[in-house]
Structure 1
Amino acid sequence: MVPHLVTALTGPINELEQRVLDSMPAIERWFRLEWMEHTPPFYTSVDVRNAGFKLAPVDTNMFPRGWNNLTREMLPLAVQAAQAAIEKICPEARNLLVIPENHSRNTFYLANVAQLVHIFQMAGLNVRVGSIDPQIKTPKKIALPNGETVCLEPVVRGKRRLGLKNFDPCTILLNNDLSAGIPGILEDLHEQYLLPPLHAAWPSRRMSNHFHSYEELSKRFGKLLGIDPWLINPMYARAEGVNFGSKTGMDVLTSHVDTVLTKVRRKYKEYGINEKPFVIVKPDNGAAGVGVLTVRDVKDLDNLDPKTRSMMSPTAEFEPLIVQEGVLTNERVHDGVAEPVVYMMDRYVVGGFYRVHAGRSPDESLVSPGASFVPLAFSESAHLPQPGAKPGASAPNRFYMYGVVARLAMVAASYELEATNPDAEVYE
Structure 2
Amino acid sequence: MPHLTTAMVGPLHELEQQMLSHQARIEHWFRCQWRATPPPFYASVDLRNAGFKLAPVDTNLFPAGFNNLGAEFHPLCVAAIQNYIARTNPGLERLLLIPESHTRNLFYLENVFQLKRLLELAGLDVRVGSLSPEVSAPTAFELPSGNRLVQEPLVREGRRLRTDGFEPELILLNNDLSGGRPEILENLEQPIAPPLLAGWSTRRKSMHFAHYRAAAKELAALLEIDAWAIDPEFRKCDRIDFMKKSGLDCLVKNVDETLDIIREKYREHGVTRDPFVVVKADAGTYGMGIMMVKSGEELRDLNRKQRTKMATVKEGASVSDVIIQEGVFTFETIEGAVAEPVVYMIDSQVVGGFYRVHTQRTDEENLNAPGMHFEPLAFAQSCVLPNPQGQPDDCPNRFYAYGVIARLALVAAARELAEMHKAQPF
TM-score bracket, normalised by the shorter chain, equals over 0.9
Q: Aligned equivalents of 2:270 and 2:287: distance in 1?
A: 38
Deviation string for 1:235-263 (max 9, x for gaps)? 10001121121110111100000110000
- Residue equivalent to 2:346: 345
Match of 2:300 among 299, 302, 305: 302
Alpha-carbon shift at residue 380 of structure 1 (Å)? 9.0
User: Compared with structure 1, are the counterparts of its residues 201 and 378 closer, same or farther at alpha carbon in structure 2 (3 Å cutoff)?
Assistant: same
Deviation at 1:306, TM superposition (A): 1.4
Equivalence for 2:395: 395
Instruction: Please report how far the alpha carbon of residue 388 of structure 1 lies from its aligned counterpart in structure 2 after TM superposition.
Output: 1.2
CA gap of 1:25–1:265, structure 2 versus 1, over 3 A, is: same
Q: Partners in 1 of 2:336 and 2:262 — Cα distance?
A: 28
Is 1:321 matched with 2:322? Answer: yes
Q: Say what the alpha-carbon RMSD is for the aligned residues.
A: 2.0
Corresponding residue pairs, total: 422
Alignment of 1:420 with 2:426, yes or no, is no
Q: Give, in whole Å, the separation in 2 of the partners of 1:132 and 1:56.
A: 35
Report the Cα distance in structure 1 between the residues aligned to 2:142 and 2:19, rounded to whole angstroms.
45
> Structure 2 CA distance, aligned partners of 1:184 and 1:199?
13
User: What does residue range 123-272 of structure 1 map to in structure 2 within 5 Å?
Assistant: 123-190=122-189, 192-272=190-270
Distance verdict in 2 for CA 1:173–1:33, change over 3 Å = same
What is the rounded CA distance, in whole Å, between the counterparts of 2:333 and 2:423 in structure 1?
Answer: 45
In structure 2, C-alpha distance between the alignment counterparts of 1:266 and 1:8, rounded to whole Å: 20
Give TM-score scaled by structure 1 length: 0.95
Return the offset for 1:364. Answer: 1.1
Report if the CA contact (8 A) 1:90-1:171 is conserved.
Answer: no
Say if 1:99 and 1:173, in contact at 8 Å, map to a contact too: yes
Contact kept? 2:232, 2:328, Cα under 8 Å: yes
Greater CA deviation, 381-390 or 181-190? 381-390
Separation in 2 of the partners of 1:63 and 1:76? 20
The residue aligned with 1:14 is: 13
SS of residue in 1 equivalent to 2:45: strand
The runs of 5 or more residues in structure 1 that have no matched partner are none
User: Alignment partner of 2:164: what SS?
Assistant: coil
**1:368 aligned partner, one-letter code:** A
Q: CA deviation at 1:384?
A: 2.0
Equivalent-residue separation in structure 1 for 2:409 and 2:134 (angstroms): 37
Alpha-carbon distance in 2 for matches of 1:380, 1:80? 13
- Residues 130-184 of structure 1: per-residue CA shift (max 9 Å, x gap): 1011121011111111111100111111111111111011011000001011110
CA distance in 2, matches of 1:368, 1:382: 26
Contact in 2 for aligned 1:3/1:376 (Cα 8 Å)? no
Letter in 1 for 2:123: G
Aligned match of 1:58: 57
CA contact under 8 A between 1:243 and 1:317: conserved in structure 2? no
CA distance in 2, matches of 1:270, 1:6: 21
Is the 1:90–1:170 contact (alpha carbons within 8 Å) kept by the matching residues of 2?
A: no
How far apart in 2 are the matches of 1:271 and 1:381? 29
> Is the counterpart of residue 24 in structure 1 residue 34 in structure 2?
no
Change (3 A) 1:335 1:179: same
Matches of 1:225 and 1:287, distance apart in 2: 32
CA contact (8 A) 2:78 2:122 kept: yes
Equivalent residues of 1:136, 1:154 under 8 A apart: yes
Answer yes or no: is the 8 Å Cα contact 2:343–2:352 preserved in 1.
Answer: yes
